[in-house]
Amino acid sequence: MNILVLGNGGRENALAWKISQSDKVNKLYVAPGNAGTSQVAQNIAISITDFPAIKQFVLDNSIDMIVVGPEEPLVKGIYDFFKQDPQISKIPVIGPSKYGAKLEGSKDFAKKFMVRHRIPTARYKSFTLDQLDEAYSFLEELNAPYVLKADGLAAGKGVLIINDLNEAKSELKIMLSGMFGDASKTVVIEEFLSGIECSVFILTDGDSYKILPVAKDYKRIGDGDTGLNTGGMGAVSPVSFADEAFMKKVEERIIIPTIEGLKKDNIDYKGFIFIGLINVDGEPMVIEYNVRLGDPETEVIMLRIKSDILDLLQGVATNSLDSKKISIDNRYAVTVMLVSGGYPENYEKNKEISGLNEITDSLVFHAGTKSENDKILTNGGRVVAVSSYGNTKDEALAVSYKNAGKILFDKKYFRKDIGFDLK
Ligand code: AMP
Ligand code: GLY
């Protein structure tokens, strides 16, 4: 098969690495890709939201399947664009329809879905600017801290957690008045849940599903989960508290109702579902849905899937996922993200990266890199993810940290405590 992966981050490098190992793959392309994806696939310079250009490439290169990494093309309707065009309608796009992608694209849509299908989640109400008084009353009913969420996509910045009621009211008003443009014209206010989070991933053909390895990511820039939010500083899989008993609850109360809910609501969904969960005293509650894999979780999950991923994706495309088996590596996989100093605020790019060729016992997935004149240069805040196996979490982390020290670039920074809160 000829496969096209869309995206240019560590997630897409890990996906392309895994797909490249399949016996079924003939040509593998990544658009637009990065210096890491070019080592396992051919990069092509096409924008992930230029659907007509993607269509032309697919036709010219006999592409058999498109695997979408980030949410943006899905929210913009790439699945429907293909499905509705007779020239390309038979070419599977792994991901939900535009309507299904609202599970990530609209928090209000996702909350309504969860309530309709009795999926455990925080109590909430949604408001627009003309309902400010009702919104204030709802805030008064809740206890601090107050959780305010812009309904739409806001580049990961749309959630505010505020301790003081008056501050919550004033921030709410600013949000509704356009703090995040159209994305915050509707705001979801919800009850604060206290617990530890994890990411559960499922692959579905719309009928049956496979549960992929559970992971936990570390979003804050500083050790001890302090400082600003980032695109992800590291990840660990498996997650100690997501044991058999917990996962049984997750499957019965969340995964099965989610798949059944998609069917009942006639939502066309063939792809990955990322369920952001919080463990509240042993009870799983849904924080959010994403309609794609997570980053940097993919940089550990792909290490733990032993099965041929293309075989699973073919199962999704042909509605036969039920007949496929998924086998998981019992070892730990961890990843540590090396970032540019200053990230997630201002940082410099175009720093030469050295030491990459010395790494033999980790996988180095590129998040923000480019090649120029035989050199590999930094090209983003998050630069490379150093992923390793181990029989224990600490064994795996020791390998990633050893190799994190060997990869050099000016102002390199990484967290030293990935996995600190897990057994
Ligand atoms: P979201 O974009 O919905 O994932 O929210 C971003 C982050 O805010 C989550 O990863 C949580 O850490 C936190 N968060 C969101 N909703 C809640 C909630 N109801 N209670 C506590 N923390 C939350
Ligand atoms: N790791 C969280 C995300 O991909 O959104």
Domain 124-190, second-level architecture: 2-Layer Sandwich (3.30)
**How far does the centroid of ligand 2 lie from the alpha carbon of residue 373, in Å?**
32
**How far does the centroid of ligand 1 lie from the alpha carbon of residue 159, in Å?**
7
Judge if the beta carbon of residue 287 lies within 6 A of ligand 1.
yes
- Going by their DSSP bridges, the two strands 234-237 and 269-280 should be labelled as unpaired
**How far does the centroid of ligand 1 lie from the alpha carbon of residue 287, in Å?**
6
Q: Domain 2-96 has what CATH class?
A: alpha beta
Report which protein residue has its CA nearest ligand 2's atom 4.
294
Judge if the beta carbon of residue 41 lies within 6 A of ligand 1.
no
Ligand nearest to the CA of 148: 1
Report which protein residue has its CA nearest ligand 2's atom 3.
294
Which ligand 2 atom sits closest to the C-alpha of 292?
4
**How far does the centroid of ligand 2 lie from the alpha carbon of residue 366, in Å?**
16
- Substitution site in 217, 237, 302 for ligand 2 pocket (most atoms within 8 Å of beta carbon): 217
Report which protein residue has its CA nearest ligand 1's atom 5.
159
- Substitution site in 104, 295, 299 for ligand 2 pocket (most atoms within 8 Å of beta carbon): 295
| 155: CB partners within 8 A, 6+ apart | none
Judge if the beta carbon of residue 298 lies within 6 A of ligand 2.
no
Q: Which of 376, 372, 339, 370 is nearest to 356 (CA)?
A: 376
Would 2-96 and 124-190 be classified into the same CATH topology? no
pLDDT number for residue 157: 85
Q: C-alpha angle with apex 31: 30 to 34, nearest 5 degrees?
A: 75
What are the mean pLDDT values of the chain's consecutive 10-residue runs (423 residues total)?
98 98 98 97 98 98 98 97 98 98 97 98 97 97 97 90 97 95 96 97 98 98 96 97 98 98 98 98 98 98 98 98 98 98 97 97 97 95 98 98 98 98 96
Q: Do the Cβ atoms of 125 and 147 come closer than 8 Å?
A: no
Rounded Cα distance between 150 and 189, Å, is 9
Hunting for tokens 């940290």 — which residue is that? 401
- Substitution site in 125, 143, 159 for ligand 1 pocket (most atoms within 8 Å of beta carbon): 159
Rounded Cα distance between 344 and 34, Å, is 20
Judge if the beta carbon of residue 32 lies within 6 A of ligand 1.
no
Judge if the beta carbon of residue 294 lies within 6 A of ligand 2.
yes
Q: Do the Cβ atoms of 418 and 398 come closer than 8 Å?
A: no
**How far does the centroid of ligand 2 lie from the alpha carbon of residue 14, in Å?**
14
Q: Do the Cβ atoms of 322 and 204 come closer than 8 Å?
A: no
Bridge partners of residue 209, in order along the sequence: 204
Which ligand 1 atom sits closest to the C-alpha of 193?
20
pLDDT number for residue 156: 79
**How far does the centroid of ligand 2 lie from the alpha carbon of residue 382, in Å?**
13
Judge if the beta carbon of residue 232 lies within 6 A of ligand 2.
yes
pLDDT number for residue 155: 82
Ligand nearest to the CA of 272: 2
For the sheet with 159-162, list strands across it. Answer: 124-128, 186-190, 146-150, 159-162
Bridge partners of residue 197, in order along the sequence: 278
Rounded Cα distance between 355 and 353, Å, is 7
Which ligand 1 atom sits closest to the C-alpha of 149?
3
75, 208, 213, 270, 319 from 263: Cα distances, Å? 19, 11, 24, 11, 13
What is the Cα 400 distance to its own chain's centre? 21
**What residues does each domain of the chain span?**
2-96, 124-190
- Going by their DSSP bridges, the two strands 382-390 and 363-366 should be labelled as antiparallel
**How far does the centroid of ligand 2 lie from the alpha carbon of residue 356, in Å?**
25
117, 139, 238 from 112: Cα distances, Å? 9, 19, 30
Residue 408, burial from CB neighbour count under 10 angstroms (0-12, 13-18, 19+): middle
Hunting for tokens 């509650």 — which residue is that? 285
What is the Cα 239 distance to its own chain's centre? 17
Rounded Cα distance between 322 and 329, Å, is 20
